[in-house]
Amino acid sequence: MTYGDAAGTGERADMRWDGWGDPARAKTLPASLRLLLTSVVGRVPRRVVAPTWDEVEVITPPLDAEDVAALAAVVGAGNVRTDRDARLLRAGGKSTPDLLRRRAKRQEAPGAVVLPGSEDEVAEVLRTATERGLAVVPFGGGTAVTGGLAPHAGAHRGVLSLDLRRLTGLVSLDEVSGEATLRAGTTGPEAEAALGARGFELGHFPQSFRFATVGGFAAMRSSGQNSAGHGRFETMVTGLRVVTPTGTLHLGRAPGSSAGPDLVRLFLGSEGTFGVITEVRVRVHRLPEETFADAWTFPDFAAGADALRQVAQAGTGPTVIRLSDEAETSVSLAQVGAIGKALTKGCSVVVLHEGPAGLAAARREATSRVLAGAGGTPAAPRLAASWEHGRFDAPYLRDALLEHGIFVETLETATTWSGLHGLRTAVTEALRTGLGRSGHKILCHVSHVYPTGAALYFTVVGDLGTDPARAAETWARTKAAVNDAITAAGGTISHHHGVGTDHAGWMEHEVGAVGLRVLRAVKAELDPARIMNPGTLVP
């Protein structure tokens, strides 16, 4: 297997099958994390021997010859893959439960991988799948963490993975209007490279940026780390092309319209359950001329959260602003060699300002005044530089810990400013109850801010034992209790990770019984045979 540009051919290669990303970037446990493990679980466990690629058996049979021939007639024989390797690589996403399942020697996988090269081919593949009773799981970068890429056939006799990597590239750029159209399979780096060559950027940088696709950003209602300045991805989208089993939609006629409900929004967050997004039209902007990265400290989480609220409500315009609690701050400081008693008692804030010359500096000054007025103290710039340098690498550390039998998982939610601390307490208590009162560490940060509220992002590190199946069961029970706590506390079941299969059981709590009936009615109209991503989003 190869990664990145496969042997210089321009063909996109796959992520690591049993972990995150490119194995060339894989990390060993740094001394700082070894020290953390000693304080949390009392030891640094030995590495757990996991099955190798060659030891894993794919137990799901490939699609039969007639199915393959019908699909090959649409996309070409070379673009229908039924070999074990191609199917195993698309056997799920990249959550920790997904990776725990990768540690079993017997794996379920889609019956085939189909790679369409055009929107017309996508439409024909959906028609063929409907006729032949096959489920379809759209596949972009493979970074999903809520179970939405599981190869569930539902009531159908087989399932195919619809890989969109051939639908890539910049279709058009309207420099006057500041709009670009990108094919759905375009990755974050590909989009930035194509736009950057013309002096523009999208500026959407989720942690999955290096591998996730533009279509995935739209289908999951992604929130990038620069959302304070550029907005969530859904706010960037001005138009879509979507292929459904009953027809194709071209949505988004103008920057604003009162011609009925906005159908573009219907497909943002649809997670491949209504159809396949093939093109995305997005708002873009000129590359920034200035960038400033700063770090601040606050005496406690409450003071830091209130400072972020003031910044968001004042509209001073940071591109990034995030607050780490005491536990996460201590881990971050340890990794940059700045750990100390005075610093670990407080919380840290990272702030990034960027934009045209002069304007970015003015925004920085305005934000700094608010933070200082709220009790903040400027901190060493290396804390911000360290975050910016490693902003996409945390999953590699997760893999390193998992290889030592240490469970690491994340979850996120959001609520109003007035409900923020109650929600944080409710989630923390549910985690402690589910995982036990010792042997784990819970980290939390405010990842995204709005004038009316904010998102909380939790990271859980703990020793759940060396049995992957038992660890997965413990986490499933704990996560269910957390989901109940979130809904009871008035939070959203997901701020940016999506619903997938993991949160589908809580959708009625999220949108209500009538809202769920609306989603099911849309599903029935666009996908009457229910071939699209069974089990995801709409229970």
Return the domain boundaries, the chain: 170-285, 290-389, 394-496
93-104 pLDDT, tens digit each? 999 999 999 999
State both tokens at 191.
């989009």
- Going by pLDDT thresholds of 50, 70 and 90, the confidence category of residue 5 is very low
Judge: domain 290-389, CATH 3.30.70.3450.
yes
Residue 379: pLDDT band (50, 70, 90) is very high
Asked whether the predicted pLDDT for residue 35 surpasses 80, the reply is no
Instruction: Note the pLDDT of residue 331.
Output: 82
Which of 3.30.70.141, 1.10.490.10, 3.40.50.1980, 3.30.465.10 would CATH assign to domain 170-285? 3.30.465.10
Whole-angstrom Cα distance, residue 324 to residue 300?
10
Q: Check pLDDT > 80 for residue 47.
A: no
Which pair of tokens denotes residue 347? Answer: 């919380």
Q: What is the reported pLDDT for 67?
A: 98
CA distance 120 to 126: 10
Residue 410: pLDDT above 60? yes
Question: Does pLDDT of 140 surpass 90?
Answer: yes
Q: What number of other Cβ atoms are within 10 A of residue 194's Cβ? A: 19
Residue 342 scores a pLDDT above 50:
no
DSSP 5: B
Spell out a b/e string for 517-531, using b for 16 or more CB atoms within 10 Å of the CB, else e: eebeebbeebbebbb
pLDDT digits (tens, 9 = 90+) for 261-300: 999 999 999 999 999 999 999 999 999 999 999 999 999 9
Q: Residue 219: which pLDDT band, with cuts at 50, 70 and 90?
A: very high
Expressed in percent and rounded to 5, the helix, strand and coil fractions of the chain are 40, 20, 40
C-alpha distances (whole Å) from 290 to each of 279, 287, 321, 364 are 31, 9, 17, 11
Kindly state the average pLDDT of the residues 348-375.
Answer: 97
Residue 252 has pLDDT above 80, yes or no: yes
| Lowest mean pLDDT segment, chosen from 6-20, 243-257, 352-366 | 6-20
What is the structure's pLDDT at 380?
87
Q: Which two tokens stand for residue 322?
A: 């995030």
pLDDT tops 80 at residue 37: no
pLDDT digits (tens, 9 = 90+) for 153-203: 999 999 999 999 999 999 999 999 999 999 999 999 999 999 999 999 999
Phi, psi torsion values for 242, nearest 5 degrees: -135, 130
Residue range 443-450: mean pLDDT, rounded: 97
Counting DSSP H helices and E strands in the chain, the numbers are 19, 20
DSSP secondary-structure letter at 346?
Answer: S
Contact (Cβ atoms closer than 8 angstroms) between residue 535 and residue 150: yes
* % of the chain residues with pLDDT over 90: 81
Distance CA 274, CA 218 (A): 13
Q: What percentage of the chain exceeds 70 in pLDDT? A: 94
Q: Domain 394-496 carries which CATH code?
A: 3.30.300.330
Which structure tokens are listed for 431? 């985690």
Q: How many other C-beta atoms lie within 10 A of the C-beta of residue 42?
A: 11
What is this structure's pTM? 0.95
Contact partners, residue 390, CB within 8 Å, separation at least 6:
none
Q: Tell whether the model's pLDDT for residue 539 goes beyond 50.
A: yes
Answer yes or no: is pLDDT of 11 > 60. Answer: no
- Mean predicted lDDT score pLDDT of the chain: 92
Q: What's residue 335's pLDDT?
A: 65
Q: How confident is the model over 100-109, as a mean pLDDT?
A: 93
Statement: residue 439 has pLDDT above 90: no
Mean pLDDT score, 466-494:
95
